[in-house]
Amino acid sequence: MDLNDTPEQAAYREQVRAWLEEHKSEAPVLEGPDALPEDQVVDAHRAWQRKLAEAGLAGATWPKEYGGQGFGPIEQVIISQEIARARVPGILDVIGVGMLGPTIIAHGSEDQKSRYLGPMLHGDEVWCQLFSEPAAGSDLAGIQTRAKQEDGGWRLTGQKVWTTNAQFSAYGLILARTDADVPKHKGLTMFVLPMDAEGVTVRGLRQITGDAEFNEVFLDDVKLDDDMVVGQVGNGWGTALTTLMFERVTIGFGSEGLGYRPQRFAEAIAGDEAAVRDGDVRQRLGHITTELLAVRFTSYRMLSALQQGQIPGPEAGLSKITTVNASIAACDLVADALGPDALREDTDSQLSYHTSFLPGLKSAGGTEEILRNTIGERVLGLPPEPRLDKGIPFSELRAKEKEAAAR
Ligand SMILES: Cc1cc2nc3c(=O)[nH]c(=O)nc-3n(C[C@H](O)[C@H](O)[C@H](O)COP(=O)(O)OP(=O)(O)OC[C@H]3O[C@@H](n4cnc5c(N)ncnc54)[C@H](O)[C@@H]3O)c2cc1C
C-alpha cells in the first residue's frame, strides 16, 4: 500500500493539525509534574472530549446520523496521529466511543441509538463494559450473572470485575445469562445497565500504578425494563463479539494507539551519555525498536484491510502481544540503563506508570496465551484446544467438568 497521504488526506491532516494547534492550550494536563490533581481529572477530560466531539474529532468513524463524520479508518488514524503529535490527550471514553457505541449502532433499537449515542460521544455520559467476572474472563461465555424475566422486565443478580471507569460511568453494557438450559454461548443476553439503578454497587480496585481505574460491580436483584435489551434475547454472544471485535481493533493498532512509540524509549535514554555509549544498551534498544516498527507496519496492513471493508484477522492479536512485550522490555532496558532515576515520578516520561501498568495490559483485551491459541489455530492451522463444553447445557457443565477431572 502507499503509505503517503492522498491530497485529500493531507488536506484533512492540515485541518486537524490547525484545530489542535489553536485549542491545545485548553487540553487537560494528565501527565508529568504539572498534571491535574486526581479529583479534577475526570471533569477536565470530559470537557476536552466535548470539545473534540464538537470539532468532529471524536467518533469520526460513526455514521453522520449518530453524530460521527462517517469517515473510514484512515481519517481516524490521522486524528490519533495528530493528537499524539500535539501531545494532548485523546477522548476520555475510549471504551464507550470505540467499542460500546459501535455495538449499539450495530445491534441497538432506534430508541436506544437516539437516546444514548449523542451524550456518549460528547462525554456527557461515560460508559463501561461489564463483561468479565471473577470466574469468567478468557472463558467469557462462562459468565454466571443471571437475568430472570418477570412482567415487562428483568431482574439481574451477580458480580462483574475489572470494570474500567465504572466509578464515573452513567451506563454500562452488561452481558448476563438468561437461559442456563442451553449451551453456554446460546443463553446470553446483552442489556444497558444504568449505573445508578437500585442494587448496583461499585467498589474500586487500586492497582500497583497507584490509580484505581477499574472496579468490582455487584448486582443485587437489579430491575431492568424490557427496552434495555440490546439486540435479541439469547443473542448476547453475537452482540458481545461485535464489542470484542471493536476492542481488538482499538487495542490492535498497537504501539501507535497505545502511545508506546520507539522514540519515547530512545529519548529516555538519550540524555545519559554512559548508556548511549554502551553497546548492549544500543543493541537492546535496536531490537525493541524493530519490534515496535514491525507492529506499526502490521497495523498499516490492518488499516488497509479495514479500508477495503474487510474484517481484520489475527494481526490485531499479534500486534497486541508484540506491543506489550516490546514495551515491557523497553521499560526494563530504561530501568537497567538509568537505574532508579528511570522511575522518578517528577519526570514527564511516565516510565514509572508504564512499568507498573504494562503487566496488566498482558491480560486486558485477551491474554497472551489466548491470543497465541487463536493465532496457532487460525493462522498456523494447529489442532484446536480440546473442549468439554460443546453442545452441553450450561447448567450441566460443572457436573461434566467434575466427571472429566475424576477420570
Ligand atoms: C487493565 C485492564 C482493564 C480491563 N477492563 C475491563 C473492562 O472494562 N471490562 C471487562 O469486562 N473486563 C475488563 N478487563 C478484564 C479482561 O478482559 C480479563 O482480564 C481478561 O479477559 C482475562 O481474564 P481473567 O483476568 O479472568 O484471566 P483468566 O481467564 O482467569 O486467565 C488466567 C490465566 O490463565 C490463562 N488461560 C486461561 N484460559 C486458558 C486457555 N484456554 N489456554 C491457555 N491459557 C489459559 C490466561 O492466559 C491467564 O494467564 C480488564 C483487564 C485489565 C487488565
Average pLDDT over residues 67-72: 94
- Paired with 81 in beta bridges are none
- Paired with 218 in beta bridges are 159, 201
C-alpha cell at 175: 452481558
Active site residues: 247
| Ligand 1 atom index nearest CA of 128 | 8
User: Ligand 1 centroid to 397 CA: how many Å?
Assistant: 21
User: Ligand 1 centroid to 364 CA: how many Å?
Assistant: 6
Q: Quickly list DSSP for 307-353.
A: HTTPPP-THHHHHHHHHHHHHHHHHHHHHHHHGGGGG-TTSSS-HHH
In this structure, which residue's CA is closest to atom 22 in ligand 1? 137
Dihedral sign of CA atoms 316, 318, 321, 325 in order: negative
C-alpha cell at 254: 498497537
Q: Is the CB of 138 under 6 A from ligand 1?
A: yes
In this structure, which residue's CA is closest to atom 48 in ligand 1? 367
Q: Is the CB of 131 under 6 A from ligand 1?
A: yes
CA distance 249 to 307: 13
pTM, to two decimals: 0.92
SS3 225: strand
Answer whether 154's CB lies under 8 Å from 224's CB: yes
C-alpha cell at 369: 496465551
- Name the most confidently modeled range: 56-70, 236-250, 364-378: 56-70
pLDDT single digits (tens) 295-308: 888 888 888 877 78
* CA-atom Rg of the chain in angstroms: 22
pLDDT at 134 over 60: yes
Q: How many CB atoms lie within 10 A of CB 93?
A: 27
pLDDT at res. 111 = 98
Answer whether 237's CB lies under 8 Å from 229's CB: no
Mean per-residue pLDDT over the chain, rounded: 90
CA distance 299 to 140: 26
pLDDT at 47 over 90: yes
Q: Please choose, from the candidates 234, 239, 227, the residue with its C-alpha nearest in 3D space to the C-alpha of residue 111.
A: 227
Q: Please choose, from the candidates 94, 98, 117, 91, the residue with its C-alpha nearest in 3D space to the C-alpha of residue 192.
A: 117
Sequence-separated (6 or more) residues with CB below 8 Å from residue 306: 72, 73, 249, 312
Which long-range CB contacts under 8 A does 46-52 form with residues at least 24 apart?
46/92, 46/123, 46/124, 46/126, 47/123, 48/88, 48/89, 48/91, 48/92, 48/123, 49/91, 49/92, 49/93, 49/122, 49/123, 50/122, 50/123, 50/124, 51/23, 51/26, 52/90, 52/91
SS3 247: helix
pLDDT at res. 254 = 47
CA distance 342 to 356: 12
| Ligand 1 atom index nearest CA of 362 | 53
User: Ligand 1 centroid to 369 CA: how many Å?
Assistant: 10
Q: Is the CB of 369 under 6 A from ligand 1?
A: yes
In this structure, which residue's CA is closest to atom 21 in ligand 1? 137
- Paired with 175 in beta bridges are 190
Domains in the chain with CATH codes: 7-92 (1.10.540.10), 127-235 (2.40.110.10), 253-366 (1.20.140.10)
Query: What backbone torsions phi and psi does residue 200 show, to the nearest 5 degrees?
Result: -100, 125
Q: How many CB atoms lie within 10 A of CB 54?
A: 11
E strand or H helix that includes residue 102? helix 101-107
Q: Please choose, from the candidates 185, 180, 193, the residue with its C-alpha nearest in 3D space to the C-alpha of residue 229.
A: 193
Average pLDDT over residues 367-394: 87
Average pLDDT over residues 134-157: 95
Q: Band of the pLDDT at 397, cuts 50, 70, 90?
A: confident
C-alpha cell at 171: 451506563
In this structure, which residue's CA is closest to atom 27 in ligand 1? 137
Average pLDDT over residues 207-228: 93
pLDDT at res. 352 = 80
User: Ligand 1 centroid to 363 CA: how many Å?
Assistant: 5
User: Ligand 1 centroid to 346 CA: how many Å?
Assistant: 32
What is the Cβ-side half-sphere exposure of residue 137, based on CA atoms within 13 angstroms?
14
CA distance 140 to 258: 24
Q: Is the CB of 263 under 6 A from ligand 1?
A: no
pLDDT single digits (tens) 14-36: 999 999 999 999 999 987 778 89
Answer whether 372's CB lies under 8 Å from 381's CB: no
User: Ligand 1 centroid to 312 CA: how many Å?
Assistant: 22
Query: What backbone torsions phi and psi does residue 148 show, to the nearest 5 degrees?
Result: -105, 135
CA 126 to the chain's CA centroid: 14
User: Ligand 1 centroid to 235 CA: how many Å?
Assistant: 22
C-alpha cell at 163: 470494570
In this structure, which residue's CA is closest to atom 35 in ligand 1? 369
Q: Is the CB of 360 under 6 A from ligand 1?
A: yes
Q: Is the CB of 244 under 6 A from ligand 1?
A: no
pLDDT at res. 119 = 98
Q: Is the CB of 163 under 6 A from ligand 1?
A: yes
Average pLDDT over residues 158-179: 98
Q: Is the CB of 208 under 6 A from ligand 1?
A: no
Q: Is the CB of 370 under 6 A from ligand 1?
A: yes
SS3 195: coil
Average pLDDT over residues 177-191: 96
